[in-house]
A and B are shown apart, each in its own frame.
Chain A
């Protein structure tokens, strides 16, 4: 029985129109624009000029380098902390819902608003962080105004923000582990450590693989956190320039949309590549 219920298109129509106009067309257009020069209102074909430009632009390389450092430091560190926290809460705490609610708060709150608080905490003169560092006799650097530290501050802020999502997803995965494994382990007198390394961690592998790739993709799109922490700048002297920030600057501030779109295409291909790796990894992990 092969039916063709044409009315389906009617139900899909509103979504399809919007998707074509605001998801499919912009991708095609971004590709086209990446081969064009000139301002937005008067663009013309200029071949590979934009790509040539970004690949020799030190600012672009700095943006890529910063983004990569951010992704490969903040993501693993946040993940390790999240795993420890989720496991401790899951195995040692009775009121897990209370802690889950608390740790998830950063996920729902505005990055810009929290950025204002962090800017205050990081302040070199009267910030709380340096006050605490002074109390334990550690050096008190200028977290925001020292270019060599902007990336460190951004990573700290990034880790703080990403724990929420990780913990909640990990708690969900921990609840899905068959409790009989632990019952059995207890019967054989396994220690907490053994239970974690022999049962919990292997069972969490698919979730960890998922979080790792999702977080890395997220890290490559980081923008709002930079804007929030450095008050609309990419750090002193662009020291915390990231890929999307570069695109934004080239598009909106400098007014070279072609260059911005060439950078977008590069970022887009990279993210597609990571997504492809994720698919492969997940298939391997799940089988």
Chain B
């Protein structure tokens, strides 16, 4: 009897623990969406309002009127997409050379890559700003994307997919007279679709959320990315809490939609490349 009641209490604790943290994790998102639809009074009353009385969709209209969010969206979409596509291209080529080809100096290249993986981005971002400034690329799309057009990290990630493809396939395709270029795009890429999709998703999301780099290399409003626009909007909008929350929702929503569609690939991608490290 006693054993059984103890067991129950344990279960209640477990479920309560999960429930509390689940609420704590999800609640800020829900509150953000709801708060973005409240009136100013509702966001600042005590006790706090949870469900707005009227859905103030006009908040979104005001956000678009007060700051060029459409432009921010466009800029962010362009830079995140370009970074993703070009990074995929350069990383696929690099990963192919590192897995299928034998050449003098390969060990050295590998060593350099591995050491660079340990370098924190924050340690080089400021000197990169300097380079971009000297090239006269401040406030340009090229300046926003240039340092991120390849990734050692994703190259490694793709190598793990490429090595899973048997080297005999490479040899067979060579015998059939295919060039390396053809092998990469007609065999390697279609056979590693899963890995490429994951890299594309992770790269796009991190491009969408980038903050420090665009903060450094842009100061014109028309070249700002979403997160920078959002943070300066939060400053300018001052006490207009409901507008801040509406703008935050706008920023987060596209990524959340991508996440809910591809959650499996995204989660597996993150788990896979980090267990390997």
Contacts and interface: CB of A to CB of B under 8 A. Distances in A.
Interface of A: 2-9, 11-12, 14-16, 18-19, 21-27, 29-30, 33, 40, 81, 84-85, 88-89, 92-93, 99-114, 116-118, 120-121, 125-128, 131, 160, 163-165, 168-169, 171-173, 192, 207, 210, 214, 217, 221, 223-224, 227-228, 231-232, 244, 247-248, 251-252, 257, 260-261, 264, 267-268, 271-272, 275
A27 B18 contact: no
Given A109-B256, A116-B248, 6 more contacts: A8-B101, A16-B94, A26-B124, A104-B266, A110-B248, A169-B275
Given A23-B116, A125-B44, A252-B216, A260 B126 contact: yes
A108 B123 contact: no
Nearest to B50: A128
B251 A113 contact: yes
Contact of A11 (B127, B133, B152, B180): B180
A30 B124 contact: yes
Interface in B85-117: 89-91, 93-94, 96-98, 101-104, 106, 109, 112-113, 116
B131 interface: yes
A213 to B, nearest CB: 10
A22 B128 contact: yes
Interface stretch (B52-60, B61-69, B160-168, B204-212): B204-212
A163 B235 contact: no
B130 A109 contact: no
Contact of B146 (A22, A109, A257): A22
Given A26-B127, A109-B255, A128-B31, A88 B17 contact: yes
- 9 nearest A-B residue pairs (beta carbon): A26-B127, A11-B97, A22-B147, A26-B124, A113-B248, A172-B271, A8-B103, A8-B101, A15-B94
A112 B26 contact: no
Interface in B205-241: 205, 208-209, 211-212, 216, 226-227, 230-231, 234-235, 241
A135 to B, nearest CB: 9
Given A12-B109, A112-B211, A116-B234, A106 B205 contact: no
Nearest to B206: A108
Given A126-B44, A168-B270, A19 B15 contact: no
Chain A CB count within 10 A is highest, among B28, B209, B226, for B28
B25 A105 contact: yes
A110 B251 contact: yes
Contacts of A131: 46-48
Chain A interface, >50% SS class: helix
A104 B97 contact: no
B274 interface: yes
A163 B209 contact: no
Chain B interface, >50% SS class: helix
Contact of A231 (B97, B118, B123, B235): B235
25 contacts: A4-B104, A7-B180, A8-B106, A11-B94, A12-B93, A18-B146, A21-B131, A22-B147, A26-B131, A88-B18, A100-B267, A108-B209, A108-B256, A112-B227, A112-B248, A114-B32, A126-B45, A160-B28, A173-B275, A223-B212, A224-B211, A224-B212, A247-B126, A264-B122, A271-B120
Contact of B231 (A12, A84, A107, A228): A228
A102 B122 contact: no
B120 A120 contact: no
A114 B266 CA distance: 20
Contact of B48 (A22, A27, A128, A173): A128
Given A23-B119, A105-B259, A30 B28 contact: no
Given A27-B119, A192-B10, A93 B18 contact: yes
B260 to A, nearest CB: 8
B234 A231 contact: yes
A121 B211 contact: no
Contacts of B127: 25-27, 29-30, 33, 261
Contacts of B175: none
Contacts of B152: 15, 19, 23
B82 interface: no
Contacts of B155: 15
A252 to B, nearest CB: 7
A232 B116 contact: no
Nearest to A6: B103
A126 B267 contact: no
A261 B43 contact: no
B150 A19 contact: yes
Contacts of A192: 10
B78 interface: no
A228 B248 CA distance: 11
A214 B248 contact: no
B29 interface: yes
B245 interface: yes
A260 B262 CA distance: 40
Contact of B120 (A125, A164, A217, A228): A217
